[in-house]
Structure 1
């Protein structure tokens, strides 16, 4: 069979365009990405239905790349890869272009099957900023809110504000920040095993990505594999994150590695497994304010790693956990300050 010398095309590409309106249209069965506005501005996307088969490789719904001044509203996505995705170029090429995706409003959208409901990355080398996501619903999406990047990308993702999100039946994480993205499907296949990434601190350079200054409020999730996952780099933590006013029912609670200046406030995690509700590893300045959990869990919080420090707990109900806090892998009681009920 002849080897093709081209890639599967995107369905609709809007390259360096201005004053765009996409309204009331159905887009489906794209060879790769379905909608790809690129280096464009003043875009309105309204009342769209975007449909790809669940198995479509790279079958993203909307990939907004290096665009500014955008409104996405009242649209439905049911696709094979990420649903609503923010991008800004890949690696050195994206950094050289230097065009962030910025000034974006996403509201009243629904995502069914997708690898992520609302996604930033992983190709975000030009940065992403000033993005507002409100009143969206994710049903059966592999991951709800998905922030992904890896070394070599570079770029700064900042000033992201997300409010009023409803999720149901999320197989993976309701909320995910991952700086070790490896271009793999977010959900393991039956019998599949993946080795964890090698952890080592590398020098900070132009290829070091950053996630910072992100606030997520008012999230309700009925069913997820894991509530919250945060995995930063040793040389560049995920930092300055606020997660507030949430109720998440999931098999597992929080896993955090290499996070800094992260606050969970008025967050209820209803977990099914018997492990710790919160796992915090090599993270600093973590504020847990009114973080509640299902009664009679064995362990509320596991703190690990010699670098863990400045973990503050307000309003811990020790009556609900048989062993509220445990320390492993070099962590000590000095890492935690607690006020209990």
Structure 2
């Protein structure tokens, strides 16, 4: 499909995504001995049906209405796995059914348990229909005590498993706990033996669906839920359509991402709902040196008409974006109850360039943290601190620019309405590599705090209403240059409209804004002077 869209006054040509096509031949898994009794392990029956369908030139493998227990399934070219209404494809909680295989986790080659559904190098594949695919994730995931009620925690502990030494985290087994104590236990390296991986096998949770180096993919209509780790993980694949799916996880599901597009090209995600335990719709491209070596950006992506509920972020890029991300359009999406709305995250060591991102028509409600966030100090923590958790601010120092230095640039956000957030906008770049060339316009954001900007260059806020409850100041700008604040609206009676700090702050323009609504318009600190700003 090829579409046109106008973003920030310019018309951009959207990418073309090739569609799948299948023969009409349909084969039911019942023909291969599958039984919907919830007791029979149907792994062989379903895989046999897929294999026969593939060898005959493709078609539809039918999962009829019923409850089907199974182990790992492998999709093959030209096969559409179709679930009838009220069909439940339940993946077994017997870890012995999932062999260790070479895979990829958070952008690094790793040993993992085989994914419940996977395909490698397949062309023209689909999962469609109206049923539910359940990954049995509760058998795999660790759970933090702080994220459950007291009664739910007691029930979980009584079910079995083991506790961490501080009794604050539940693990399903000793193997899972042992893996949690090691640094990158699944990372593939020559000195690690088969016995080593087996000892920590339970910790190496699989993603529910992994499609690696595949071409022409359709996921449509199905509910994907309860994943051991990430839900949907297209990896180094292209021509992907994800349409009308529901992706669900408990809100506390650690690493329970909705969809992670990693080093993928030509993608459409539309009319889908995500209600998960980690990032909702996430763009990735490999981690650190491995991602730069792969050198495959995620590019040419359209996300439209999607809703994200509980999630760390509604639409997210990073943090593993070392191969880059570019040419991405997000339109007409709603985020309700997410920790962050639009979330861009990275850190030193990643490298990679995120650029040419076009976002418009976003509605947000009850955002726990920032409505819009650009952060180059990501520290692999939940975006919202737990009660009593103390976090130190990052150490600020200027380092040389190398291939490990990440970049955020050329990002356009137009048309955001947010009702309720802790902070409206947060921008934090590196001293040696600022967040650059961001335009945010036509926005109404109701939040406790307004704008907080550090180490940024070429940022424009135009026709933005920052309706804050904590209004002292409405905006903070630190060590940033060439900032345009045009037609900023805020609640009258603010003690201070704008605080400018830092010796590097300069070229700040405050235009078309009624500064008299605040008791004081501008204040300077930490080396900033009135030469940093012009007011019109």
Q: Above 0.5 in TM-score?
A: yes
In the alignment, which of 473, 477, 483 is matched to residue 276 of structure 1?
A: 473
Matched residues, number = 339
CA shift for structure 1 position 193 = 1.8
SS in 1 for 2:512: strand
SS in 2 for 1:291: strand
Q: Please tell me whether residue 190 in structure 1 is matched to residue 364 in structure 2.
A: no
- Return the alpha-carbon distance in structure 1 between the equivalents of residues 497 and 385 of structure 2: 27
Q: Which residue of 2 aligns with 1:249?
A: 446
In the alignment, which of 476, 495, 509 is matched to residue 312 of structure 1?
A: 509
Dislocated runs of 4+, deviation >3 Å: 1-4
Matches within 5 A, 1:29-40: 29-40=226-237
Bigger shift: residues 17-26 or 5-14: 5-14
**Structure 2: 5+ residue runs without aligned partners?**
1-173, 179-198
CA shift for structure 1 position 274 = 3.4
For residues 215-250 of structure 1, give each alpha carbon's deviation from its aligned partner in whole angstroms, at most 9, with x where no partner exists: 000000000000000000000000000000000000
For residues 105-129 of structure 1, give each alpha carbon's deviation from its aligned partner in whole angstroms, at most 9, with x where no partner exists: 0000000000000000000000000
Q: Which residue of 2 aligns with 1:76?
A: 273
SS in 1 for 2:291: helix
Matches within 5 A, 1:195-274: 195-274=392-471
SS in 2 for 1:14: strand
**Structure 1: 5+ residue runs without aligned partners?**
none
Q: Which residue of 2 aligns with 1:110?
A: 307
Q: Please tell me whether residue 298 in structure 1 is matched to residue 495 in structure 2.
A: yes
For residues 283-323 of structure 1, give each alpha carbon's deviation from its aligned partner in whole angstroms, at most 9, with x where no partner exists: 00000010111111010000000000000010121220000
SS in 2 for 1:94: helix
Compare the two structures and name the one with the higher strand fraction. 1
Q: Which residue of 1 aligns with 2:32?
A: none
Matches within 5 A, 1:5-154: 5-6=200-201, 7-154=204-351
- Return the alpha-carbon distance in structure 1 between the equivalents of residues 386 and 449 of structure 2: 19
Q: Which residue of 1 aligns with 2:371?
A: 174
SS in 2 for 1:170: coil
Q: Please tell me whether residue 288 in structure 1 is matched to residue 485 in structure 2.
A: yes
Compare the two structures and name the one with the higher helix fraction. 2
Q: Which residue of 2 aligns with 1:337?
A: 534
- Return the alpha-carbon distance in structure 2 between the equivalents of residues 83 and 288 of structure 1: 31
- Return the alpha-carbon distance in structure 2 between the equivalents of residues 122 and 87 of structure 1: 7
- Return the alpha-carbon distance in structure 1 between the equivalents of residues 352 and 476 of structure 2: 28
SS in 2 for 1:319: helix
For residues 33-66 of structure 1, give each alpha carbon's deviation from its aligned partner in whole angstroms, at most 9, with x where no partner exists: 0000000000000000000001111000000000
- Return the alpha-carbon distance in structure 2 between the equivalents of residues 216 and 236 of structure 1: 21
Give the structure with higher Rg (CA). Answer: 2
